[in-house]
Structure 1
Amino acid sequence: MYIMSKYLNIALALGSSIILFSSCEKFLDTAPQGKYTEDNYPYPEGGSTYDQYIFPAYNDLRSYSVHVDGFVNATSIRSDDADKGSTASDGGADVIAMDNFPVLPSSGRANSLWLGYYGLINKTNRAIHLMDSVQNPNQDEAMKIQTEAEAKFIRGYSYFMLVRLFGSVPKFDKWFEDPASQNNIPQSTAGEIYAFIEEDLKFAAQNLPDVWDRQYIGRATKGAANGILAKVYLTQKKWQPAYDAANMVRGSGLYDLSQSYAEIFSEKGENGKESVFEIQGTASADQQTANGIQYANLQGVRGSGNWNLGWGWNVPSPVLEAAYEAGDPRKARTILYSSTTATKHFSLFNEQMPVYPSEVPNPMYNHKVLSDPALRNSISRGSWWMNIRILRYADIVLMMSEAANELGRTDEARTLLNEVRERARRGAATGVLPNVTNTDQAGLRDKIRHERRIELAMEHDRFFDLVRWGTAQTALHAAGKTNFQNSRDVLLPIPQAQIDITKGVLKQNPGY
């Protein structure tokens, strides 16, 4: 369960080193951002001597085990909105089980997720340990607390992923100098883990800045902490705290729905007014993968030549395709259609798509991860520079809407819901996506759930939403995933490798 911190050290003339961190100015700057040099040592303005302790955790947010393979499989391919894609046998039994259930205790991807998120937790615990044990006489206490808040934000987010993926998991609230000692700690209940997550995120929300200097884009903010905290509360049906936490984000005035839906997922749209928290990737012709994320590559069109963009995994499902209202512009930005012998289809960049099934194995792909062809031609086909949108402002508004409705405030809930629909229909034909008019709680609940599905399609919330609503088995069976059993498959199995390492201290989830 223990993963040693892997430092990406940059040697400095002064004999010190510091951890690599990516930035937003990804294609305009001639010098890499987010690393310290002789010119700005010991740290740039706005940073602190504590940065070196937290940067390894930020770096790991981009890792394959955290936000790429297992993440896409567990959060999206398991849902009714997506299928595995690619060829029938690609990925083997492990990926096919993520799509069609059950996932086995021997699953390499489940184990990778366990290791990835506990690796992040280990790095945050180590950062807090070092901040407490290493004297920094030139740094004030406020900056130390702020960096601790960053560590607790990442730790809280990591535990939120773990508890939703696995249920009862061990709680490590300190750094273990002897990694083997972690193997003796049993699982805490899901309730205990949620209480710990709330504690971490509330500390983060109280002590993080509203915004960072541009050179530090991507670091956790007060809005990100309150936004994730709102989702933590929503998952537990704590409606008033969920509403209050989301309203803190809304009330900050730092975010809005002014970006068009088509722009949000482009390189131009990264870190815009819609963005509450994004994982940052960057790349160049010389550094095509080292500072990026394989997220878009995993989902890229699986073709040849100019369309050899990736693995072709995580493709929109026919039931998602059918769920859109007539004329909804979000459908075109989410579903990238392959051409057929009878019909030509084009990408948002006006590129003619290859033909299904002779040139590509799938009729649809995820349009939200398609990168700019100019960058594909100048950097690489892999698109490792694409950011991952973890939390958007539209999600905040929809969480507020759901919480308000469950609290009986249907008028407010309807108004919030219609804000999202208004942005979605901008530029569409008259009559498309009219305002919702429901005045009853049950009817509005269905409308809010539908809107979450469409607005956040292919963005890693659908499976978790189905589970917390109690509708997973009905929805997944309707999508043809009839092996799903609510008594077993709402959680992944505890990896058998981890049970073996702990000599049975960890206990398996029901049904496996």
Structure 2
Amino acid sequence: MYTPFAMNRLYNVCVLLGLMLVSVACTENLLDQIPTTQLSAELFWKTTADATAAVNGVYEANRTTFDRDYYFDGAGEFVNTRGTSNNQGTFNPSGLGSNGNFGFLWGDCYRAINRANYVLGNIGTLRSTLNQPADLALMDRLVAETRFLRAINYFRLIDLWGDVPYFTRKLDGNAEAYGLSRTPRAVVKDSILADLSFAATILPEVYAGDNLGRASRLAALAFSGKVNLFWASWMKNEGNSAEAQKHFAAAAADFKKIVDKNIPLFRNGEPGPSDNPNYWHLFQYFNEYDPEIIFSVQFGGPLLSQGEELSRDFGNRNTGFGQCWVAPTFRLANRYQLVSTGDFAPPLVLSRTTTLLNSATNPKSYEGRDYRMRATMVWDGQKMVQLSTDGLTVLPDSLPFRFGNRDGVTALNYDGQTSGYMFRKWVRQTGGIGRSDGPQDIYLMRLPDVWLMYAEAVNEVNGGPTPELFTLLNRIRRRGNLPALNTAKFSTQAEFFKAIEQERIIELVGEGQRFFDIRRWKKAEEIWPAPSGQVLFDTQGTRVRDEFVNADLRAYQRYYIFQIPPAEIEVNAKITQNAPWL
């Protein structure tokens, strides 16, 4: 049976905290304010334990913001998100961004921000009553953690909605909320960076014991670099090259502080056996505290009502009653390079003929590929270990995947997934845990992501790659057992960017990064050119979905900026709607 990790106790207090601080009020509050039914600050804020519990409540709210980021991969070209297990959002490239899809995420962000502001508004008073150095240091650390969490929620808001209401203290009811207007995203960005800079000066680099998984200095630096990089990308798209270069340089400086730590990749970046790659093991809960993982959202796991649903979303009916809500596509399969050459294999042929050369249903078409492919995807003929319906028992026989046969007896039952593939990444192959009760932390920032963002920033500032950048990308490629990049082939800025993008696609798939990359690089029109867009097919050549087919300009514009929830505008005339949604 599974024994919860120590850090996941962080959330054990949140059930009580929810009753004390953030229980649902009888009436809805604008911008998800903390209800007035909360326990009085005079009664609660008495000890350092109270402060820690309150900050844990901010972590819990932050988890709700980011716990299903992987669904966003379905809004890119390499993953099909056929639906969601929590019935929130529609993740199709040409059909997202509306309040009906993502108004909930606006509320999630402000819920975390309001909790953070509540903590910051009370912790100073408690600190003034303390005199022990250890207690004072703890209060400083908790403030830094809270400002970090507030920052990444505001970052999500400006990324999706642009200008947003910005405030740094607990609002005094709806009357004050009604007076808020949208703050320019540049101002919000500067405040985000200020919070992250503060956090980076206070937070420790590493934790131990019960504190494992809390926000660290490395996490603050990584997200500061990410904010700078995204801002630089946005400014580059707007033609503001001076502002772009300033923030590319700032991003590189932030990331460099992590690069120079020489943190190793999981299992030193070695690929492991071809039939059991190390990369797969990185995405199992028993390795979630590896130094490669810089920041995650935490899950308590079995019997705590704080579990994740990765096996439900990524797994199949034979692996603990999963539902295959997300699955790879043939386009992703085509991106896995050959270990012999380090280059791409011939494109797959979408066909029912399993003996056809390069057929997507021919298992031989996938031989000799990047080891991360075997760790990430399941294609025709591949097997998986079976788990009982409740996920508690490992069954004696494994079953193969046969697209077109989902009887669950002779072949794996892939439920309603239609892409022709399933995920192996994130899917548990050990018993003792139900599909909605998982302990796996969901990674928001990993070391390869930092290296790739650093490479992107330096490539922009330098006008091309440096030897250091080749070294970093080759370390990432090594875990797939791929040869080093050809330095002559990728010597220019444009070609090296292609190498960066390739590694981001393969290394970070299933982690919700691709959608945000497409938007910051403004690549939607390139991937889905008007007016034809693209049609996604399964491995046998049957249509799965249309993507920007006959779409107008507004459809592309809405991909880049989401709809402000109309309910916010209805009660506050100062909140204006984004132009593509008027």
TM-score range with shorter-chain normalisation?
0.7 to 0.9
Q: Map residues 27-38 of structure 1 onto 2, 5 A cutoff.
A: none
- What does residue 369 of structure 1 align with? 426
Cα distance change on mapping 1:100 and 1:231 into 2, 3 Å: closer
- What does residue 66 of structure 2 align with? 67
Cα distance change on mapping 1:48 and 1:501 into 2, 3 Å: same
Cα distance between partner residues in 2 of 1:443 and 1:427: 21
Q: Does 1:336 align with 2:336?
A: no
TM-aligned CA deviation for residue 84 of structure 1: 1.7
Cα distance between partner residues in 1 of 2:156 and 2:534: 25
TM-aligned CA deviation for residue 261 of structure 1: 2.2
Cα distance between partner residues in 1 of 2:180 and 2:145: 25
- What does residue 269 of structure 1 align with? 287
Q: For structure 1, which runs of at least 5 residues remain unmatched after alignment?
A: 1-5, 20-41
Q: Does 1:251 align with 2:308?
A: no
- What does residue 334 of structure 2 align with? 322
Kept in 1: contact 2:524–2:556 (CA 8 A):
yes
Match of 1:187, SS state, is coil
Paired-residue identity, %? 22
Kept in 2: contact 1:239–1:406 (CA 8 A):
yes
Q: Map residues 1-400 of structure 1 onto 2, 5 A cutoff.
A: 8-9=15-16, 50-63=51-64, 66-69=65-68, 71-73=69-71, 75-85=72-82, 95-96=89-90, 98-103=91-96, 105-107=98-100, 109-134=101-126, 135-139=128-132, 140-237=135-232, 238-254=247-263, 256=265, 258-259=268-269, 260-284=278-302, 286-287=303-304, 290-294=305-309, 296-303=310-317, 306-326=318-338, 327-337=369-379, 339=380, 343-346=381-384, 351-359=398-406, 360=414, 361-362=416-417, 363-374=420-431, 378-400=432-454
Cα distance change on mapping 1:104 and 1:157 into 2, 3 Å: closer
Cα distance change on mapping 1:184 and 1:433 into 2, 3 Å: farther
Kept in 1: contact 2:219–2:445 (CA 8 A):
yes
* Greater Rg by CA: 2
Kept in 2: contact 1:185–1:505 (CA 8 A):
yes
TM-aligned CA deviation for residue 79 of structure 1: 1.5
CA deviations over 1:443-490 (Å, ceiling 9, x no partner): 112211222222111211111111111212222456531156332221
Cα distance between partner residues in 1 of 2:493 and 2:398: 44
Q: Does 1:419 align with 2:457?
A: no
Match of 1:352, SS state, is strand
Q: Does 1:462 align with 2:514?
A: yes
Cα distance between partner residues in 1 of 2:523 and 2:172: 43
Q: Does 1:500 align with 2:570?
A: yes
Cα distance change on mapping 1:420 and 1:271 into 2, 3 Å: farther
Cα distance between partner residues in 2 of 1:61 and 1:298: 21
Q: Does 1:488 align with 2:550?
A: no
- What does residue 484 of structure 2 align with? 434
Cα distance between partner residues in 2 of 1:91 and 1:224: 28
Q: For structure 2, which runs of at least 5 residues remain unmatched after alignment?
A: 1-12, 23-45, 233-246, 270-277, 339-368, 387-393, 407-413, 536-546
Cα distance between partner residues in 2 of 1:68 and 1:196: 24
Kept in 1: contact 2:314–2:327 (CA 8 A):
no
Kept in 2: contact 1:334–1:368 (CA 8 A):
yes
Kept in 2: contact 1:210–1:223 (CA 8 A):
yes
CA deviations over 1:373-393 (Å, ceiling 9, x no partner): 22xxx2313352111010000
Q: Does 1:402 align with 2:420?
A: no
Match of 1:333, SS state, is helix
TM-score by length of 2: 0.71
Cα distance between partner residues in 2 of 1:56 and 1:427: 39
> After alignment, is 445-454 or 77-86 more displaced?
77-86
TM-aligned CA deviation for residue 274 of structure 1: 0.8
Give the letter aligned to residue 329 of structure 1. Answer: Y
TM-aligned CA deviation for residue 228 of structure 1: 0.6
Match of 2:255, SS state, is helix
> After alignment, is 148-157 or 265-274 more displaced?
265-274
CA deviations over 1:305-364 (Å, ceiling 9, x no partner): x33533422222222221221211112222233x4xxx3534699942454333223322
> After alignment, is 349-358 or 179-188 more displaced?
349-358
Match of 2:151, SS state, is helix
Cα distance between partner residues in 2 of 1:223 and 1:278: 12
Cα distance between partner residues in 1 of 2:480 and 2:575: 54
Cα distance between partner residues in 1 of 2:571 and 2:398: 50
TM-aligned CA deviation for residue 138 of structure 1: 4.7
CA deviations over 1:147-205 (Å, ceiling 9, x no partner): 11111100111011111111111102111132442232111122122111111111111
Kept in 1: contact 2:140–2:202 (CA 8 A):
yes
- What does residue 36 of structure 2 align with? none
Cα distance between partner residues in 1 of 2:159 and 2:451: 22
- What does residue 34 of structure 2 align with? none
Cα distance between partner residues in 1 of 2:250 and 2:287: 30
